[in-house]
Amino acid sequence: MTIARIVFTRIFRAKRTWAIALLPALGVLTAVVARNSGRGAEAYGHQVRNLVIPIILALVALVISTSAIGDEREDLTILYLTQTTVPRLRIVVETWFSAFMATLVLMTPAVVAEMALGSSVGVGGGALADLVFAIVLAGAGYCALGVLLALLTKRAALVGLVYVLLWEGTLSGFAAGARNLSIAQHARSIVARNVDALTRSAIDPPSTGAGAAVIALLVAPVVLLALGQRRLQRMNLP
């Protein structure tokens, strides 16, 4: 895990990381407000559906992962990594892994606040475990997407933002095909599988089942990182 350690320590020394950590802080704040709103489990559903997964998680994961490999490309320290006996796949996977771990660390306050909100309004333990599970799987997917984007373009963070806002935010709302390629939609399927009807309607999961969503979110990082490895192998540096 030599590469992962280098990337991970670098992530937490970047000012950008602390700026993006404001988003989970916002999640904590809104969870407290929602708890006092008296809207019960519905408020939990709305929080998860509209803020925690599609905005906070998506942006934290994409900013961290695109800069994890983007910074290596930018200052060309990636040259030193390729000038080793390590296979390209390991460079890609370890970079992804450290971005993923950093994302989970940064998301912890928001997730804990959401769980506290959920348990205070009567959401069951199983459903709260589903929330954690969904955050972990979706975080892995967003980070893999970010790593691939950063290998494909120098404007990876911008492309990631377009994906989150246009593809996931708008297009997947009415196009079923787009929904299948939306990480946030699959995450919602998982979050909604053990909640009551009212909370479920607030989460508004897609019609594809939670089982399919788990499989999709497990396959996504594998495919995205395989594409990343292929790209790193073929790209001309610097």
Partner 1 sequence: MSIRVDKISRTFGDTVALSQVSFTVGPGITGLLGHNGAGKSTLLSLLAGYSSPDEGSVRILDGDPRTDRALHRRIGVVPDGQGLWSHLTAREAVTALAKLRDVPDPAAAAAAALDEVGLTDAADRRLGQYSKGMGQRAKLAQALVHDPDVLLLDEPLNGLDPAQRRHMIDVVSNRAANGCTVLVSSHVLHEVERMAPQVVVLVNGRVVAEGETVGIKALLRDRPQTVRVTLAGDPRPLASALAGAVSTQAIRVSEHRVEVDTLDPEALGLALSRAAAASGTTLRSIEPVGDDLESLYAYLTARARGAAR
Give helix 125-152 / helix 58-74 axis angle, nearest 10°: 30
108 is an interface residue for partner 1 by CB under 8 A: no
Which of 16, 19, 33, 84 touches partner 1 by CB under 8 A?
84
170 is an interface residue for partner 1 by CB under 8 A: no
Which of 19, 79, 218, 223 touches partner 1 by CB under 8 A?
79
In contact, 219 and 141? CB cutoff 8 Å: no
**CB of residue 85 vs partner 1: minimum separation in angstroms?**
5
**CB of residue 92 vs partner 1: minimum separation in angstroms?**
14
Cβ closest to partner 1, residue 6 vs residue 178: 6
**CB of residue 68 vs partner 1: minimum separation in angstroms?**
13
**CB of residue 75 vs partner 1: minimum separation in angstroms?**
7
Which of 18, 80, 162, 176 touches partner 1 by CB under 8 A?
80
**CB of residue 94 vs partner 1: minimum separation in angstroms?**
10
Cβ closest to partner 1, residue 56 vs residue 64: 64
3-class SS letters over the chain: CHHHHHHHHHHCCCHHHHHHCHHHHHHHHHHHHHHCCCCCHHHHHHHHHHHHHHHHHHHHHHHHHHHHHHHHHHCCCHHHHHCCCCCHHHHHHHHHHHHHHHHHHHHHHHHHHHHHHHHHCCCCHHHHHHHHHHHHHHHHHHHHHHHHHHHHCCCHHHHHHHHHHHHHHHHHHHCHHHHHCCHHHHHHHHHCCCCCHHHHHHHCCCCCCHHHHHHHHHHHHHHHHHHHHHHHHHCCCC
**CB of residue 156 vs partner 1: minimum separation in angstroms?**
20
Maximum alpha-carbon separation in the chain: 59
Which of 61, 62, 81, 113 touches partner 1 by CB under 8 A?
81
What residues from 7 to 36 belong to the interface with partner 1 (CB under 8 A)? 9-10, 13
In contact, 76 and 154? CB cutoff 8 Å: no
Stretch that binds partner 1, among 42-50, 55-63, 71-79, 103-111 (CB under 8 A): 71-79
Cβ closest to partner 1, residue 6 vs residue 161: 6
Interface residues toward partner 1, by CB under 8 A: 2-3, 5-6, 9-10, 13, 75-77, 79-87, 236-238
